[in-house]
Amino acid sequence: MADKVDRRLLYVLAAAVGIAAVVVAGGLIAERLSDARARAERYETRSRALRKTLLPEADLARERDALDRRVARLRARYYRADEISPYAFGGEVKKRLRSAGMTVARYQIMESKGKSFLEFAVSGRARSFLQFLRDVSLQGKYWTIPSMTVDARAGGDVVEVVFKIGYEVIDETGH
Amino acid sequence: MKRPSAFLMTRPDFVVRDIELPPVPEREIEGLIRYRLRSLYPGDPEETAFDYALTRAEGSRRRGRRAIVFIARKAVVDEYKAKAGRRPLALPFTLLRRMALREGSMRAWVVDGTWAEHILFDDGAPVSSVVKIYGRGEAFDLSREDAALGPEIAVGPPILAASEEALAASPLPRDAQAMPLERLLLGLRYEDGIFCGRSRAARTRAASRIAGLSVAALVLGILLALKGIATAESRADDLQAQALALEKSSANALSLEKDIERLKAESDRLAAATPRDAYLLFSALYRTLGDDARIQSVAMQDSGFQVDATGSNALRSMERFKEHPEFTGMKLAQVVPDAKSGRERFTFSGTFNGR
């Protein structure tokens, strides 16, 4: 009789342990499942939000490259500080004036607001001076003419011109 | 008096046969006995009920597999079932069987008023059964009945299973052991009862099957749950990788946007710093004044300029300057018509925005 009671108690204990194990395992499984689902939902929401705001990277890269090329092209039209001096620049201007057929009466180097300019007094045919201006406009670097007086009252096709001419310099930072 | 948990049927109502079984699967035993029923019991098989109990312990090779078959008329069994209700039905063999399996060899008398049965067990299996029926005025007497059994059956001290009342009324021989019938009936398990619809073996098989299926279902459930977890975690990992890739892409896009803004600003600044082009000014002046005009002098300072010119119609020229998008702030200062030539000498000033 005692054996029977002991055996029954053993069965009840085993059943209780089994049920407890199943409940604990079930709880752990449910917890892991719930965690995984919550994680999936969180990342799905995040991805959805990112997709809504995401700009096409390839298009942006193309636009950036185009702007980069444009900036490089614009910066290439400036002289670097060590690339030229007022004397070399004056020689180049003089050469181009003569090449266009203008006669240089006088010229001088001037400083204004930290920039060097050359003031030229020249004469020649109006067409020749326009040719010179065209050369200045089409050559690769920026040459600037801040002031100029052209007098064509002498008659014929002859003009007398006094003008200031300089060049644009850019530093490493682009200023 | 306590109500017994099992219902003891009258032994003489049953024919009990000990049969040897051929080596057939356990599920076929019932069919085999039914097939042999006519040779075991004289009644109409259709009107006959039977149950059986296997008497050889599993794995024992001492003797062949045997079964004790309990046979009675169906009507009798139904009557007992109705009387017993939910209680298990019992015969002496079913009451003693577990004890015999424990004890090995033993013999016992089970006495219930008008009848008594002596069963001799050897190695847990019944080897002899003697049934006695008592008429009016007759009563069970252990010494007399034991003596009648003969020395080959009455071996060793007997167990006497009878009601507590009967046991108290008659003194036992010194070597006999008394066993109250009420206690035996109370201790009988339902699965040890007979005529319960299924044999014990079948019940055991069903119980084992249910237990096996439950374990299999549990294991399958756990495996499925683990698979579900693996799938959910894999999906979460994929989505995490996707989100990280998108975040990286977004960071790249932001960086590109910043680059674009910086380059646009620099491009705009460089474009705005483009020096004014004197050649463009002269080209625009010639085109706007027309072929009949002649420039006498030009004074230019940064974007501002002043021009002395002669032409046929100064006002028409000024109209054209006004329509030109690159000239702004145009002012006609003075116009002096020349009566001889019919032309006009005029001075105008303004701002040129072309670069």
Tens digit of each residue's pLDDT (9 = 90 or more) over B6-46: 999 999 999 999 998 888 888 889 899 999 998 999 989 89
- CB of A28 within 8 Å of a chain B CB? The answer is no
Q: Is residue A44 part of a domain?
A: yes
**What's the DSSP call for residue A113?**
T
The verdict on A135 and A101 lying in the same domain is yes
**What is the tally of structural domains in chain A?**
2
Among A54, A69, A89, give the residue marking a domain's end.
Answer: A54
Q: Which of A9-13, A122-126, B4-8, B196-200 has the lowest mean pLDDT?
A: B196-200
pLDDT of residue B1: 45
Could you give the angle at the alpha carbon of B89 between the alpha carbons of B85 and B91, nearest 5°?
A: 155
Place of tokens 């977890």: B229
Structure tokens at B27: 């599920």
Mean pLDDT (whole number) for A55-80: 91
What's the CATH number where A155 sits? 3.30.70.60
Residue B275 contacts residue A168 (beta carbons within 8 Å): yes
Pairwise CA distance, residues B57 & B18, whole Å: 15
B242 touches chain A (CB under 8 A): yes
Give ∠ CA B6-B9-B13 in degrees, rounded to 5. 165
Q: Is residue A63 part of a domain?
A: no
Whether residues A116 and A161 fall in one domain:
yes
Determine contact: B263 vs chain A, CB below 8 A: yes
**What confidence category does residue B173 fall into, taking pLDDT thresholds of 50, 70 and 90?**
confident
Question: What are the DSSP calls for B91-106, one per residue?
Answer: -HHHHHHHHHHHHSSE
At residue B4, does pLDDT exceed 90? no
pLDDT at B3: 46
CB contact under 8 A, B236 and A40: yes
* Pick from B95, B97, B76: nearest CA to B13: B76
Domain-located, residue A23: yes
Enumerate the residues of chain B whose CB falls inside 8 A of the CB of residue A48. Answer: none
pLDDT of residue B99: 87
pTM summary value: 0.51
> In this complex, is the C-beta atom of B235 within 8 Å of any C-beta atom belonging to chain A?
yes
- Tens digit of pLDDT for each residue in B269-289? 888 888 888 999 999 999 999
Under the banding of pLDDT at 50, 70 and 90, the label for residue B115 is very high
CB contact under 8 A, B276 and A133: no
pLDDT tens by residue, A80-90: 888 889 999 99
Let me know if residue A145 belongs to a domain: yes
Q: What is the DSSP letter of B123?
A: T
**Of A159, A45, A30, the residue nearest B246 (C-alpha):** A45
Contact B288, B295 (CB under 8 A): no
DSSP state of B190: G
Q: Based on the domain organization, do A83 and A165 belong to the same domain?
A: yes
| B80-104 pLDDT per residue, tens | 999 998 888 999 999 998 888 888 7
Q: What is the pLDDT of residue B203?
A: 61
For residue A45, the model assigns a pLDDT of 92
Q: Where are the alpha helices (DSSP H) in chain B?
A: 29-40, 74-84, 92-103, 142-149, 164-169, 181-187, 200-272, 278-289, 314-323
Q: Is the dihedral of CA B23, B24, B30, B35 positive or negative?
A: negative
Shortest CA gap B224–chain A (Å) = 10
Host domain of residue A89: 79-170
pLDDT (average), residues A9-38: 89
What's the rounded mean pLDDT across residues B305-329? Answer: 91
Q: Which helix (H) or strand (E) holds B17?
A: strand B15-20
Residue A71: inside a domain, yes or no?
Answer: no
Fold topology of B278-352: Gyrase A; domain 2 (3.30.1360)
pLDDT in tens, B300-312: 998 899 999 999 8
Show which of A39, A54, A69 is a domain's final residue: A54
- Shared-domain flag, residues A166 and A113: yes
Within 10 Å of residue B181's Cβ, how many Cβ atoms?
A: 23
- Measured CA to CA, the distance from residue A113 to residue B167 in angstroms comes to 139
The answer to ipTM > 0.85 is: no
